[in-house]
DNA sequence: AACGAAACCTGCGCGC
DNA sequence: TGCGCGCAGGTTTCGT
C-alpha cells in the first residue's frame, strides 16, 4: 500500500504508537527483507525511537545514531501486536519493545526492503541519494527541464522517483486526469504550462489523499488495520467502463510501460 | 546513456 | 472443483 499519502499515514500512526519505545529484541524470520548493504539490525537493541520521517515513499525511523530506512514496495505493512502473539504468515521481522508490545513487518510478496544505516550516511545512501524532491518542494522549471529531455510517455516519467518522488500508479493516473494531459504524451513534447498543471494537481491530490489517510483498494487494509478513504475521490484509477466525471466518454484502460493506465480520451488529448 | 523487459514474490479472481 | 492465466498501490537488474 505504498504511495506518498499511504506512507505518510503509516508514519503518523506508528509515530503516535511507538515514539520513545525502547527495542529489547529483534526477531528476523525472513532475512532477505533486510538489504545486503544494511548494518546489523541488532545494533538497534536498547535504542529508543526518536522520530519517524518520510521521504517520497520511504519511511525513516530515527534512532539517534542510526536510521532505519524502510520501503514497503507493493505490499509491505506494519502491525503492532502484543509481543507474545503468535507469529503469523508473512510476518518477516519483529521488533520487541520494553512495554510488552511488538512491531511486525508483514509483506505478502516480500518485495519490501529495510536497511539500517548510520545517521550521517543518509545523504549518500544508494536509494535515497537518487530521489527527486516531492511535488510539494519541487521547482517547476527544474522539473520541466528534466521532463523535456525524455522521449518516454509522461505517465512513465511521473513514476520515475529520480524525476519526481512520491507518485505511484494510482496518483499518477489521477494527476494526469486532473491535469487533462494524455498519458502517452512524450516528455519532449510537454509544455511548461502542462508541467505546472501536473505539479499543482499533484499537490492538491496528495494533500486530499493524506487528509483521507490514503487509498484502500483491492480489499486489503493498510498498516495497523487503518483504512484510507481516498478511493471515494478516484476519478479514473480502476474506473474502466465508468463515465468520465467531466464528459460523456467512458474511462479506458491501457498499458503503458507495463502499468495499467486509466484515462479519458476525450478530456486528456 | 537510455529504454523496455524481466526479475523479484504471493494470492486472488476469472474463464474454461 | 481444479487449473492456468492475468493481475496487483514498486524498484532493481538485465539486455539491447
Domains and CATH numbers, chain A: 4-127 (3.20.190.10), 140-263 (1.10.8.50)
User: In the complex, which nucleotide's C1' lies nearest to the CA atom of residue A2?
Assistant: C9
Number of helical (H) and strand (E) elements in chain A, helices listed first: 5, 10
Q: A221 with A153: CB under 8 angstroms?
A: no
In chain A, which stretches have pLDDT less than 50? none
Predicted local distance difference test score (pLDDT) of residue A222 = 55
**How far, in Å, CA of A165 to CA of A154, rounded?**
14
Does the C-beta of A215 come within 7 A of strand C?
yes
A212, A193 in Cβ contact below 8 A?
no
Residue A226 has a pLDDT of: 79
Question: What is the C-alpha to C-alpha distance for residues A77 and A228, in angstroms, rounded to an integer?
Answer: 14
Which triple of cell numbers denotes residue A130?
A: 537518487
Inter-CA distances, A207 with A148, A181, A232, Å: 27, 20, 15
Nucleotide C9, nearest residue via CA and C1': A1
Strand C: which of residues 120-139 in chain A lie with Cβ below 7 A?
Answer: 126-127, 130
Given A8, A57, A155, A185, the catalytic residue: A57
- CB of residue A162 closer than 7 A to nucleic acid strand B? no
The whole-number pLDDT of residue A1 equals 65
The reply to whether A6 Cβ lies less than 7 angstroms from strand C is yes
Using one digit for the tens of pLDDT, what is the confidence trace for A219-267? 565 556 678 999 999 999 999 999 999 998 999 999 999 999 999 999 9
Q: Is the dihedral of CA A162, A164, A165, A167 positive or negative?
A: negative
- Between CA A190 and CA A254 the distance in angstroms is 21
Asked if strand C contacts A76 at the CB level, meaning under 7 A, the answer is: no
CA-closest candidate to residue A71, choices A130, A154, A155: A130
pTM listed for this prediction: 0.97
Closest residue (Cα, C1') to C11: A73
Sign of the C-alpha dihedral computed for residues A241, A243, A244 and A247 taken in this order? positive
- Report the pLDDT value the prediction gives residue A227, as an integer from 0 to 100: 87
Q: How far is the CA of A254 from the C1' of B15 (A)?
A: 21
User: What pLDDT is recorded for position A45?
Assistant: 98
pLDDT of residue A102: 97
Q: How far apart are CA A212 and CA A218, in angstroms?
A: 17
**How much is the CA Rg of chain A, to the nearest whole Å?**
20
Please answer whether residues A49 and A193 qualify as being in contact, where contact means their C-beta atoms are separated by less than 8 angstroms.
Answer: no
Q: List the nucleotides on chain C closer than 7 A to a protein CB.
A: 7-12
Whose C1' is closest to the CA of A128: which nucleotide?
C11
Q: What is the pLDDT of residues A110-120, one digit of tens each?
A: 999 999 999 99
User: How many Cβ atoms from other residues are within 10 Å of residue A200's Cβ?
Assistant: 15
Model pLDDT, residue A181 = 98
Proximity of residue A255 CB to strand B below 7 A: no
CA of A193 to C1' of C9 (A): 28
Pairing of strands A58-63, A66-71: antiparallel
- C-alpha cell belonging to residue A1: 500500500
A110: left (phi over 0), alpha (psi -120 to 50) or beta: left
Amino acid at each position: 500500500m505504498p504511495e506518498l499519502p499511504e506512507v505518510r499515514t503509516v508514519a503518523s500512526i506508528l509515530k503516535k504508537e511507538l515514539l520513545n519505545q525502547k527495542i529489547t529484541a529483534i526477531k528476523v524470520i525472513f532475512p532477505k527483507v533486510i538489504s545486503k548493504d544494511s548494518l546489523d539490525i541488532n545494533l538497534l537493541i536498547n535504542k529508543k525511537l526518536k522520530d519517524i520521517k518520510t521521504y517520497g515513499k520511504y519511511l525513516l525511523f530515527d534512532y539517534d545514531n542510526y536510521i532505519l530506512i524502510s520501503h514497503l514496495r507493493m505490499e509491505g505493512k506494519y502491525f503492532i501486536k502484543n509481543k507474545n502473539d503468535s507469529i503469523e504468515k508473512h510476518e518477516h521481522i519483529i521488533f520487541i519493545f520494553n512495554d510488552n508490545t511488538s512491531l511486525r513487518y508483514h509483506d505478502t510478496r516480500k518485495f519490501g526492503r529495510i536497511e539500517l544505516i548510520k545517521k550521517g550516511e543518509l545523504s549518500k545512501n544508494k536509494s535515497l541519494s537518487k530521489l527527486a524532491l516531492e511535488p510539494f518542494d519541487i521547482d517547476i522549471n527544474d522539473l520541466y527541464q528534466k521532463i523535456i529531455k525524455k522521449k518516454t510517455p509522461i505517465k512513465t516519467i511521473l513514476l520515475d522517483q529520480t524525476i519526481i518522488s512520491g507518485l505511484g500508479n494510482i496518483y499518477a493516473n489521477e494527476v494526469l486526469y486532473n491535469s487533462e494531459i494524455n498519458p502517452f504524451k512524450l516528455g519532449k513534447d510537454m509544455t511548461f504550462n502542462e508541467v505546472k498543471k501536473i505539479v499543482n494537481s499533484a499537490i492538491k491530490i496528495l494533500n486530499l489523499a493524506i487528509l483521507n489517510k490514503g487509498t484502500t483498494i483491492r480489499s486489503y487494509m493498510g498498516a495497523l488495520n487503518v483504512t484510507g478513504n481516498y478511493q471515494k475521490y478516484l476519478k479514473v484509477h480502476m474506473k474502466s467502463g465508468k463515465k468520465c466525471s467531466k464528459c460523456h466518454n467512458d474511462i479506458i484502460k491501457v498499458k503503458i510501460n507495463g502499468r495499467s493506465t486509466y484515462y479519458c480520451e476525450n478530456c486528456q488529448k
